[in-house]
Amino acid sequence: MLQRFLALSGLAALCAGAWTASADYIRDEVRVNMRSGPSSDHRILRVLSSGDSIGRLGEDDGWVRVRTPDGEEGWVPIAYVTQEVPPSVSLPRVQLQLRDAQAQLEQLTTQMAQQALAVQHLNELRARNQLLEDENRELARGDNWKKWLTGAAIAGVFLAMGATWPRGGAQQRTRRIKL
């Protein structure tokens, strides 16, 4: 009779298809006996551990009828079932996310330091450029005296040449000699 019941239960489980509700979990840090019926008097079918995923099929007087991912059905006390992901499952996920975030933070910190150096170098180049522009303006202003001096020297040479050059050409020279 028990074998027929189990066979019919298995057939019903196959016909039932997917779980009827969202995934539930066994609470953290516990081991729960999954029983063949909704009381402690029923036979233990399996021991479920913290974080094991189960599907909720129904409830009866403080007990939950569940199905494991491999299709086995049984009953567990409702106090050990929760819809929240237990820490034993979520903690490794959070730790992985934390490691990824720390790696990204380290990468961003490195990039920020590199950009700070680049900005510092750029500011140094700007300061050097400003210094060179100021120096160039000063040199351009200082160059004017050379132009004036060159022009004055050329004018002085022509004036000196004009003062020493004889006037009147060949006729004047001949007159001087005749006298």
DSSP letters along 84-145, please? SPPHHHHHHHHHHHHHHHHHHHHHHHHHHHHHHHHHHHHHHHHHHHHHHHHHHHHHHHHHHH
Of residues 162 and 42, more confidently modeled: 42
Of residues 18 and 62, more confidently modeled: 62
The residue whose two tokens read 């992901």 is: 85
pLDDT at 5 exceeding the cut of 70: no
DSSP letters along 39-69, please? STTSPEEEEEETT-EEEEEEEETTEEEEE-T
Task: State the Cα–Cα distance between residues 139 and 137, nearest whole angstrom.
Answer: 5
Check residue 20 and give its pLDDT: 54
Give pLDDT tens digits for 131-157: 999 998 887 777 677 778 888 889 888
Can you give the residue ranges of every domain in the chain? 2-85, 87-157
Of residues 177 and 127, more confidently modeled: 127
What's the pTM? 0.44
pLDDT at 52 exceeding the cut of 50: yes
Sign of CA dihedral 90, 91, 97, 100: negative
Contact 57, 20 (CB under 8 A): yes
Check residue 10 and give its pLDDT: 52
Of residues 10 and 72, more confidently modeled: 72
Give me the mean pLDDT over the 88-112 stretch: 93
pLDDT at 170 exceeding the cut of 70: no
Q: What is the CATH T-level fold of the domain 2-85, as seen in this structure?
A: SH3 type barrels. (2.30.30)
